[in-house]
């Protein structure tokens, strides 16, 4: 009989997102989809733990859900039975690390504040806290090979001691058996309140400096000035981050500002349709540990432009247009080409047609469990 691994995952981020949709960021979707996949594995007994207060809220929310059983941790026997703790975001406290007969795993997303010059003033304290925790008996598992290399360079942890798993497409957006690439965009144009025949560039992210919104705005301005088209818009979808919105838009001419649509946070159903209906998806981020939005856009049949920073080239170099995040001319020329020549846009789409099929959370869970099983 094969081993049954007792996996105990920190559900703090799940609880934080219960009443706050704005907390449903990439980290939340990683945790939620990972739990959904682990719970269906025959070799895993999944438990979800949190503080007493958060556990009460989780139990209320997930009543009659498959998570309800996972939230019952009363019968766990720390120190007696072998437990594998996974910390998907916050590092563990010292008391948990004292538990005998247990393994501890920390998911690592990126080290943008350490590795990216433009983001040096960002949340480096949190990254340092993660690095400090890895000096104990916590095993790191990264969401890309680039993040793994960054961690090894910063911490001097041997590469062979660091695991990697690629995130998958989130269950909330995609059913692989039913991705309609011929989606009619009329409904989305109505939703966005733009003309029926208009096209739009899509940027999906929190409004913050990390996502390099300045380049997106400069690209749109250049395209607008070259094409003189009244039928092209820029759609920015996502919650407000920690940057000042006014600083991003203050220097734009009024005729450009009128062509920019800020949707704010929208539900997953709308996000999926926004991808499918857009001319292209623009993601010139200064640094990413993986890049879920470009993956989602490609799965929707939308051509994608990403920056050459962080893990983005590792994941998307063969299926997306990859540019320096400051290359306004290069990015603009590609988008203009797709706008004027629909066949060129279709060629780009066909290049990535089958790319996302391997990015499933079933595969992600298998990669994670392979790493965990190596410590048995």
Same domain, 346 and 245: yes
CATH classification of the domain holding 97: 3.40.50
Residues with Cβ within 8 Å of 95's Cβ and at least 6 positions away in sequence, in order, are none
Same domain, 46 and 138: yes
CB-CB contact of 89 with 10 (8 Å): yes
* Whole-number Å distance between alpha carbons of 114 and 281: 27
CB-CB contact of 302 with 278 (8 Å): yes
Same domain, 219 and 351: yes
Same domain, 331 and 364: no
Same domain, 289 and 343: yes
Return the ∠ at Cα 22 (arms to 167 and 237), rounded to 5°: 80
Residues with Cβ within 8 Å of 175's Cβ and at least 6 positions away in sequence, in order, are none
Residues with Cβ within 8 Å of 153's Cβ and at least 6 positions away in sequence, in order, are none
The pLDDT score that the predictor gives to residue 20 is 86
DSSP 240: B
The pLDDT score that the predictor gives to residue 184 is 54
Same domain, 143 and 180: no
pLDDT (tens place) for every residue of the chain, 376 residues total: 468 999 999 999 999 999 888 788 889 999 999 999 999 999 999 999 999 999 999 999 999 999 999 999 998 998 889 999 999 999 998 889 999 999 999 999 999 999 999 988 777 999 999 999 998 899 999 999 999 999 999 999 999 999 999 999 988 777 644 444 444 566 899 999 999 999 999 998 666 667 899 999 999 999 999 998 889 999 999 876 545 555 667 778 899 999 999 998 888 888 989 999 999 999 999 999 999 999 999 999 999 999 999 999 999 999 999 999 999 999 999 999 999 999 999 999 999 989 999 999 999 999 999 999 999 7
Same domain, 97 and 219: no
The pLDDT score that the predictor gives to residue 178 is 46
Element (H, E) at 283: strand 280-283
Determine if the pTM surpasses 0.85: yes
Which residues are paired to 204 by β-bridges? Answer: 237
Element (H, E) at 224: helix 213-227
CATH classification of the domain holding 267: 3.40.50.2000
Domain tally, the chain: 2
Same domain, 131 and 245: no
The pLDDT score that the predictor gives to residue 65 is 96
Checking DSSP bridges between strand 102-108 and strand 5-10, what pairing results, if any? unpaired
Domain that holds residue 231: 176-358
Same domain, 265 and 227: yes
Same domain, 38 and 157: yes
Same domain, 223 and 256: yes
Same domain, 13 and 143: yes
């Amino acid at each position: 009989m094969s081993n049954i691994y007792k996996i105990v995952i920190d559900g703090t981020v799940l609880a934080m997102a219960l009443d706050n949709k704005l907390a449903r960021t990439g980290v939340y979707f990683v945790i939620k989809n990972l739990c959904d996949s682990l719970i269906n594995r025959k070799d895993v007994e999944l438990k979800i733990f949190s503080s007493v207060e958060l556990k009460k809220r989780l139990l209320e929310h997930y009543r009659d859900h498959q998570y309800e059983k996972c939230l019952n941790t009363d019968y766990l026997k720390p120190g007696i039975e072998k437990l594998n703790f996974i910390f998907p975001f916050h590092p563990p406290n010292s008391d948990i690390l004292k538990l005998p007969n247990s393994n501890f795993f920390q998911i690592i997303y990126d080290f943008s504040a350490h590795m990216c010059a433009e983001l040096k003033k960002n949340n480096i304290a949190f990254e340092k806290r993660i690095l400090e925790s890895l000096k104990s008996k916590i095993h790191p598992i990264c969401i890309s090979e680039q993040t793994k290399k960054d961690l090894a360079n910063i911490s001097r942890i041997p590469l062979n001691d660091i695991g990697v798993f690629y995130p998958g497409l989130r269950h909330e957006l995609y059913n692989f058996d039913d991705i309609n690439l011929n989606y009619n965009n009329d409904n989305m144009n109505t939703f966005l309140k733009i003309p029926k025949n208009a096209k739009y560039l899509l940027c999906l992210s929190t409004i913050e400096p990390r996502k390099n919104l300045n380049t997106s705005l400069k690209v749109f301005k250049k395209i607008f000035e070259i094409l003189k088209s009244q039928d092209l818009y820029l759609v920015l979808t996502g919650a407000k981050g920690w940057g000042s919105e006014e600083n991003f838009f203050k220097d734009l001419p009024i005729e450009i500002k009128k062509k920019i649509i800020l949707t704010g946070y929208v539900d997953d159903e709308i996000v999926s349709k926004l991808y499918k209906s857009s001319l292209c998806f623009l993601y010139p981020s200064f640094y990413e540990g993986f890049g879920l939005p470009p993956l989602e856009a490609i799965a929707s049949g939308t051509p994608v432009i990403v920056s050459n920073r962080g893990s983005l080239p590792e994941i998307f170099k063969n299926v997306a247009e990859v540019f320096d995040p400051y290359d306004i001319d290069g990015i603009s020329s590609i988008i203009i080409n797709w706008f004027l020549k629909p066949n060129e846009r279709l060629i780009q789409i066909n290049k990535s047609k089958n790319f996302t099929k391997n990015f499933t959370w079933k595969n992600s869970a298998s990669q994670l469990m392979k790493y965990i099983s190596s410590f048995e």
